[in-house]
Homo-oligomer: A and B are copies of this chain.
Amino acid sequence: MNKVVANADEAVRDIKDGMTLMLGGFGLCGIPENSIAALVRMGVKNLTCISNNAGVDDFGIGLMLKTRQVKKMISSYVGENDEFERQLLSGELEVELIPQGTLAERCRAAGAGIPAFFTPAGYGTEVAEGKEVREFNGKMYLLEHAFDSDFAIVKAWKGDTDGNLIFKGTARNFNPMMAMAGKITIAEVEELLEPGELAANEIHVPGIFVNKIFKGVNYEKRIEQRTVRQN
């Protein structure tokens, strides 16, 4: 039972046309760069992608939009992407917008075996349309469901061959919940270590949730808003 695969191409090879993928990251921070590149090379089509954002024109999920591999995006915010806007307005691309906390919690629910939960976000808005509303302690909540996905693809900082993962800084974001939520979870890591090299107490995602792991290469880690102060 070996979870380690040689590279991104091997990791994603069972992904088929029409599948639903979760992709970790917030903006361009903590995105699975190697796997996205492999999906573009592979050319798999009609994907539904659950990801907080949709990348930018020439990076992140934006690369898969350019090649028309994405049928539908499920995100909380999709700005900063002209090609996205063009495909959306032309009707080539579907988009479902979901409050960010609800997006996170629907991933978390999937990984925790919770099929549905109540959350206040979106009550009284168009997000509530068609959803069950219920009052608890005088406040109104919507019933939201766990996401159902075929693969989750996440990016971690360090991982071991048993699939244990540690994230770095705010590159953690959606990655842990998605790692736990995927029917099959692929993790790409900057450093791939032997079992025991990560401290048991510091692991963010236990290996049981990870099915395939590989050491990524040539991380670009592009910055969207490089903001500095003079010192």
Residues of chain A touching chain B, judged by Cβ–Cβ distance below 8 Å, are 105, 109, 112-120, 134, 136-137, 139, 141, 145, 166-169, 200-202
Contacts and interface: CB of A to CB of B under 8 A. Distances in A.
Given A168-B201, A169-B201, A201-B169, A113 B117 contact: no
Nearest to A148: B137
Contact of A117 (B116, B134, B137): B116
In the A-B complex, the 9 residue pairs with the closest CB atoms: A115-B136, A117-B117, A116-B118, A114-B117, A202-B202, A115-B118, A115-B141, A114-B119, A116-B136
Contact of A113 (B113, B120, B134, B168): B120
B117 A118 contact: yes
Given A115-B139, A116-B118, 11 more contacts: A105-B112, A109-B117, A114-B117, A114-B119, A115-B136, A115-B141, A116-B136, A136-B145, A167-B201, A169-B201, A202-B202
A132 to B, nearest CB: 10
Nearest to A157: B201
A109 B200 CA distance: 25
A169 B116 CA distance: 31
Nearest to A168: B201
Contacts of A117: 109, 114, 116-118
Contacts of A200: 169
A148 to B, nearest CB: 8
Contacts of A114: 105, 117-119
A116 to B, nearest CB: 5
15 contacts: A113-B119, A113-B120, A114-B117, A114-B119, A115-B118, A115-B141, A116-B117, A116-B136, A136-B145, A166-B201, A167-B201, A168-B201, A169-B201, A201-B202, A202-B202
Given A168-B201, A169-B201, A201-B168, A137 B119 contact: no
Contacts of A145: 136
Contacts of A139: 115
A139 to B, nearest CB: 8
Query: Which of A117, A139, A168 lies at the interface centre, i.e. has the most chain B CB atoms within 10 A of its CB?
Result: A117
A105 to B, nearest CB: 7
Contacts of A115: 118, 136-137, 139, 141
